[in-house]
Amino acid sequence: MINRYKKGYTAERELLHKLYGMGYVVIRAPHSGSSSLPSPDIIAAKNGKILVIECKSRNGAFTIHKDQLNELREWEMRGGAKAYVGWKIARKGWIFLHLDDVMINSGNIGKKFAEEKGISIEELVA
């Protein structure tokens, strides 16, 4: 678990710096159970456009829990953000799935789904 945490942390930092390099201001949200308020992993903003991203660094398929999806939705509904799940795939890089698609798929994310619905970081920031 420590390795998975460390791998995820490193991937998130890399994504933060990449978005910063693309002109965004960025923040990595704390997840240490500090509050009951909805919290994605990353918040980024550029000229009033807000992105919130839940990050996963996994080799195989995974599921985002419904509570987590609802927290992302709250950032869209209240904040006016666009919410994504960001998946760092080893040797392939990041792909991003919009919350609507992830919700329709009941939070399940695998390679086929990612190929169909995923967008690159260039498309994310466009």
- Active-site residue numbers? 32
Contacts for 65 with CB less than 8 Å, ≥ 6 apart: 107
Query: Binding to a copy of itself by residue 125, rule CB under 8 A?
Result: no
With CA atoms as reference, report the closest residue to 96 among 110, 114, 79: 114
Q: Which two tokens stand for residue 120?
A: 């690159």
Cβ closest to a copy of itself, residue 69 vs residue 114:
69
Q: Which of 4, 6, 27, 62 binds a copy of itself (CB under 8 A)?
A: 27
Instruction: Note the residues at the interface with a copy of itself (CB under 8 A).
Output: 13, 16-17, 20, 23-30, 34-35, 37-39, 43, 45-50, 74-75, 78-81
